Chain A
């Protein structure tokens, strides 16, 4: 045991921050490796999203093998165009094509433990629409990252700082896996996009698949996020101030950093140009990470720009969530709320694909003793 140079409180040799005052420390020992964790989080069975719904949404008729209703001729939505995930009742997501776009290039993948507020992984990827097969790439990326993040957990990790470091390391490994999945799609274009998609026929090697990446990991009261591109994570507490946990890698964000007001920057001509992404032509894909401690009940939201285009500021989004939740008790569940927010974005015009993933944190999970004891 040594003492914190700032407040003289006793600190562990491997700790990077003082537990008492938060000051940075110079660790004199390497944190112990986390014990190998065998159990994995609950993950939904990956569905085959390549087909269409068997029944017409417009008239209830039977959908023909050509993808159109045999009665009214309505184009049957591809399963990929609208899908949900819900590994546990307190974690749910909806991904939707929106109105303007012809296919859903967003993707989401989730994992969670059954206990409310215990452990969860939420990953959203937004395929870059000018690239081919980006709908295939984004789904492969999201699922690859979710599988890495959901396959181990950091229980009994020793100190909080070593726990953060361990989760960040897992996030980086998850981003590597997501990136590799995107590269794999560029090497071998897959089938989902090929069905009736003229872009595939006009495949150009100069336009490889690419997508954004954002992942959030809930480890009891610890929340860690990592992102590449302009998909976002928000912490929206029931009371208190809402926080955007990620910073976009975008032209708009560069302008905001340079002093341009957010509203102006995000409506500018190149607002949606992203400066970092996952893909064969990406300069690097290291996620920008951040973490926080959850101290009050609230919503963790991970979403694509199809939602935040209509409601960017954290406090506005928090207000939207509160207002939506207040409309009906049924909407207070994560999956239903995600669906309601997707509907809301579609009602605003649905100019882009919309993906909303939510985890409901209530009650606050207790801090784990192992972590406190070090």
Chain B
């Protein structure tokens, strides 16, 4: 059985009249075990591969190898399927054009699936919404599933659907399965694919060339198979009359969970967090309270991790009103760090969006701020990727110049990495 712990980092002291409480809650899972092994239901994997014409000979061969590598990582007993995506979705495995279904992995199934993916051919367009819709239906054919995960690979824009159609498909798939998304090359839209990944509680990243695809698939599936806790919910209790200003995951990546709130009871909201392996995730919780008198203490939030209806870890966020300035003005390093990292993600994305629209002034200001924040918070990966897009005159002041002739891949790499955070140096 997995063990969860919760640790709270905050400055609980508020000045006279103070209302806003911020805390970082680190939730750590150990002993998660392997997916589908807890005896409470089965795990399933679907590999969705873009087989549109734009993939071409080279990328299709890479995708065949990558899908095979993924299949090798799927544990025996896990239900699985492969979908080939174009302007429509097609069951590549188990074979049969009209029937949807999944099979449980064993050596025969593994060999048959590898045979199926070796017959991928590049042909047709791109309609990712139809791929997601089919994946949801395929998962739905197996009633015993408690943990459903997919990886989606694309190489291009979603040309054969309207954005509204994609939105509808994403909304319908939300909560049905988790999906890690990867784009190969530089012809796909980061914002479009990020939209899918965020809604389906997965990651988004770039695979610069087809040659790197197999390693990425292998690692994604291995990670998914290591998530022995099928599903958990972050619960935030706040006192009557208080407001939960926001709930964000801030590590390993920034994800705003605020809008995912589902009511548990009048004072408690539940935020789905998907499946868990042996890992730590940090959450930034902000609560607005009615101010109390100097010397009074109260609980601002109970932050819990729940599996089903069972609370497995709890951290207490407190508020204490004090007239002592040395206490109330103290800035909690964890809160400051992740506030900076969240702003960094926004600055990068807004800077790149402005640059794409030709608004060089905004792009320079935003990316300059990003350089400054990356330096302040010690995010070396962001700094390295920013350097490929801007020339840095002064990292501390955030003075930068936009570079000319930036490779599109470098901009996309910066964009996809924008939500990755570094942890506080302890």
Contacts and interface: CB of A to CB of B under 8 A. Distances in A.
B298 A66 contact: no
Contacts of B299: 66, 68-69, 73-75
B302 A66 contact: yes
B202 interface: no
Interface string A335-356: 0000000000000000000000
Interface string B278-296: 0000000000000000010
B235 to A, nearest CB: 13
A74 B238 CA distance: 11
A59 interface: yes
A71 interface: yes
B314 A75 contact: no
Contact of B297 (A66, A71, A75, A100): A75
A352 to B, nearest CB: 14
A73 B295 contact: no
Given A59-B240, A73-B239, A73-B300, A68 B316 contact: yes
Nearest to A61: B240
Scoring B242, B299, B314, B316 by chain A CB atoms within 10 A of each residue's CB, the highest score goes to B299
A72 B239 contact: yes
Given A66-B302, A66-B314, A66-B316, A71 B295 contact: no
Nearest to A75: B297
B43 to A, nearest CB: 34
A70 B300 CA distance: 11
Interface residues of B, number: 14
A71 B314 contact: no
A339 B238 CA distance: 34
Nearest to A350: B295
Contacts, number: 33
Contact of B298 (A64, A68, A99, A100): A68
B267 interface: yes
Scoring A59, A66, A72, A73 by chain B CB atoms within 10 A of each residue's CB, the highest score goes to A73
Contacts of A64: 302
Nearest to A59: B240
Interface string A53-97: 000000100001010111111110000000000000000000000
B267 A71 contact: yes
Nearest to A64: B302
B266 to A, nearest CB: 9
A74 B295 CA distance: 12
Contact of A74 (B242, B298, B314, B316): B298
A100 B322 CA distance: 11
A68 B295 CA distance: 16
A71 B316 contact: no
Nearest to B239: A73
A69 B242 CA distance: 14
A58 to B, nearest CB: 8
Scoring B239, B240, B316 by chain A CB atoms within 10 A of each residue's CB, the highest score goes to B239
B298 A72 contact: yes
Contacts of B298: 68, 72-75
Nearest to A76: B299
A147 B295 CA distance: 36
A69 B267 CA distance: 12
A267 B299 CA distance: 36
Interface in B253-310: 267, 295, 297-300, 302
B286 to A, nearest CB: 15
B24 to A, nearest CB: 19
A59 B242 CA distance: 14
Nearest to B287: A73
Contacts of A72: 239-241, 298
Contacts of B316: 66, 68
Interface in A195-254: none
B302 A71 contact: no
A72 B242 CA distance: 9
A66 B315 CA distance: 10
Nearest to A196: B316
Interface in B345-380: none
Contacts of B300: 73
A69 B316 CA distance: 12
A69 B241 CA distance: 13
Nearest to B297: A75
B264 to A, nearest CB: 13
Contacts of B267: 70-71
B273 to A, nearest CB: 22
Contacts of B240: 59, 71-72
A75 B299 CA distance: 7
A117 to B, nearest CB: 40
A324 to B, nearest CB: 25
B65 to A, nearest CB: 53
A69 B295 CA distance: 17
Nearest to B292: A74
Interface in B114-173: none
Contacts of A68: 298-299, 302, 316
Interface string B69-88: 00000000000000000000
Contacts of A66: 299, 302, 314, 316
A70 B267 CA distance: 9
Contacts of A71: 239-240, 267
A274 B295 CA distance: 27
Contacts of A73: 238-239, 242, 298-300
Nearest to B316: A66
For the complex of A and B, list the 10 residue pairs with the smallest distance between their C-beta atoms, beginning with the closest. Answer: A73-B239, A73-B299, A68-B299, A73-B298, A75-B297, A72-B239, A74-B298, A71-B240, A72-B240, A99-B295
7 contacts: A64-B302, A68-B298, A71-B239, A71-B240, A72-B239, A73-B239, A74-B299
